């Protein structure tokens, strides 16, 4: 299917939806949202691009294999949980930076865990979408 309107709309919607997914990721620690919802919105953005332009073009825009996103996300989530073990605390205990960043506020291991979840969800959903679209 080749729709001029969908192709033109996707050019503007892809960056906006990806920005929304990062916003949901960053605000999700204290409010509704987080890595899972942000990953789903990011995957929906690439699904829309896949429908408008095809699988190969969408994979080129992504620039990373979805399986790589899954691996990096799992590693990030596991390392964020393991940092507390090195500090002598139980696994997955939150460790917070004492100095807050001006935009994000305090950064801790739960935020890093959310980033890992974001990457895993994005990779898994894109793997499913791309494999279904190729058939």
Structure confidence at residue 105 (pLDDT): 64
Separation of alpha carbons 60 and 121, rounded Å: 19
Within the chain, which residues score under 70 in pLDDT? 1, 29-30, 99-106
Structure confidence at residue 22 (pLDDT): 93
**What pTM does this model have?**
0.88
Instruction: Give long-range contacts, CB 8 A cutoff, 24+ apart: 54-63.
Output: 55/130, 55/133, 55/134, 58/130, 59/130, 61/14, 62/126
Structure confidence at residue 135 (pLDDT): 74
- Give yes or no for a contact between 46 and 131, defined as CB atoms under 8 angstroms apart: no
- Give yes or no for a contact between 132 and 124, defined as CB atoms under 8 angstroms apart: no
Structure confidence at residue 77 (pLDDT): 92
Structure confidence at residue 95 (pLDDT): 80
Structure confidence at residue 102 (pLDDT): 59
Structure confidence at residue 30 (pLDDT): 66
């Amino acid at each position: 299917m080749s729709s001029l309107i969908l192709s033109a709309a996707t050019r503007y919607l892809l960056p906006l939806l990806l920005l929304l997914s990062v916003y949901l990721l960053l605000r999700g620690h204290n409010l509704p949202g987080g890595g899972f919802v942000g990953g789903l919105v990011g995957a929906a953005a690439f699904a829309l691009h896949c429908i408008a332009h095809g699988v190969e073009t969408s994979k080129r825009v992504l620039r990373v294999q979805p399986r790589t996103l899954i691996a990096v996300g799992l590693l990030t989530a596991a390392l964020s949980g393991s940092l507390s073990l090195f500090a002598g605390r139980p696994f997955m205990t939150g460790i917070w930076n004492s100095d807050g960043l001006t935009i994000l506020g305090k950064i801790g291991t739960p935020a890093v865990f959310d980033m890992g979840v974001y990457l895993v969800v994005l990779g898994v959903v894109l793997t499913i979408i791309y494999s279904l679209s190729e058939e």
